């Protein structure tokens, strides 16, 4: 089952680039996002469970607004450009945490950061739906989900030891830059750009 999906990706370089982009970006982002925020609240802010809860809620609200923005305005952009912009936005919006020392500013940063997450998840789903035959979509979605879960676990495992040597705010600055730089995999690939030449259509009638 999965080997058939891998064989299909091997014959479609654009989708293979998308998988590599997903692997690398999730490695840089997910560990710091899941473990780093907890350490950030403990070591940089006030070590309050309430602050952590509000920050996570702010990010979730940002994701809702980001999803609505994609639904409303994404017909003006190509789906691949939307994904790449989302990757850059997702990474760069972690960088301000290097400077943040107050709970209020941290909550604002997380709210803004939440906008970029749907740009990645929704556009990646659309790319697969538009470029993979229906009989292969289950296999390809499975591969991408395994990639997300697998790199998330690996990223979490790596972040712990790193935080013994780096402060968490420095980690956010570094991973923000590296995560945003992942967009180069797509920007430099003509096969990736050709995955969808048309504008994304997410109108009320779709």
Quick one: pLDDT at residue 194?
Answer: 79
CA gap 60, 54 in Å, rounded: 10
Token pair 């009989």: residue: 135
Nearest to 189 by CA among 5, 20, 3: 20
116, two tokens: 């970029």
Round to whole Å and give the CA distance between 144 and 14.
14
Relative orientation angle of helices 79-92 and 13-31, to the nearest 10 degrees = 20
CB environment 101-117: b (16+ within 10 A), e (fewer) = eebeebbbbbbbbbbbb
pTM, 2 dp: 0.86
Residue 2 binned pLDDT confidence (cut-offs 50, 70, 90):
low
Q: pLDDT tier at 198 (50, 70, 90 boundaries)?
A: very low
The pLDDT of residue 172 is 95
Model confidence at 201: pLDDT above 70? no
CA nearest neighbour of 156 among 40, 22, 35: 35
Q: Quick one: the chain helix, strand, coil %, rounded to 5?
A: 80, 0, 20
pLDDT of residue 1: 56
Cβ atoms of residues 183 and 192 within 8 Å: no
Structure-model confidence comparison of residues 105 and 14, the more confident one: 105
Q: CA distances (Å), 17 to each of 21, 127, 172, 179, 185, in order?
A: 6, 12, 25, 15, 7
Q: What would the mean pLDDT of 16-25 be, rounded to a whole number?
A: 91
Residue 41 confidence (pLDDT) above 50: yes
Q: Tens digits of per-residue pLDDT, 131-188?
A: 888 888 888 898 899 889 999 999 999 998 999 999 999 999 999 999 999 888 888 8
In the chain, which ranges are E strands?
none
pLDDT digits (tens, 9 = 90+) for 53-107: 999 999 999 999 999 888 877 677 788 888 999 999 999 999 999 999 999 999 9
pLDDT on residue 24: 92
CA 149 to CA 90: how far, in whole Å? 18
């Amino acid at each position: 089952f999965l080997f058939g999906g891998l064989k299909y990706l091997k014959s479609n370089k654009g989708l293979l680039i998308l998988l590599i982009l997903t692997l690398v970006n999730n490695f840089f982002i997910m560990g710091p996002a899941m473990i780093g925020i907890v350490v950030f609240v403990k070591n940089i802010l006030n070590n309050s469970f309430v602050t952590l809860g509000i920050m996570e809620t702010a990010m979730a609200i940002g994701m809702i607004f980001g999803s609505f923005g994609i639904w409303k305005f994404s017909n003006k952009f190509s789906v691949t450009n939307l994904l790449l912009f989302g990757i850059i936005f997702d990474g760069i919006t972690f960088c301000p945490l290097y400077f943040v020392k107050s709970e209020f500013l941290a909550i604002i940063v997380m709210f803004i950061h939440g906008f970029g997450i749907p740009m990645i998840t929704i556009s990646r789903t659309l790319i697969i739906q538009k470029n993979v035959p229906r009989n292969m979509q289950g296999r390809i979605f499975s591969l991408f989900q395994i990639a997300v879960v697998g790199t998330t676990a690996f990223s979490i495992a790596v972040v712990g030891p790193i935080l013994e040597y780096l402060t968490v705010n420095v980690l956010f600055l570094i991973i923000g830059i590296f995560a945003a730089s992942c967009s180069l995999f797509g920007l430099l690939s003509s096969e990736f750009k050709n995955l969808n030449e048309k504008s994304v259509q997410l109108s009320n009638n779709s």
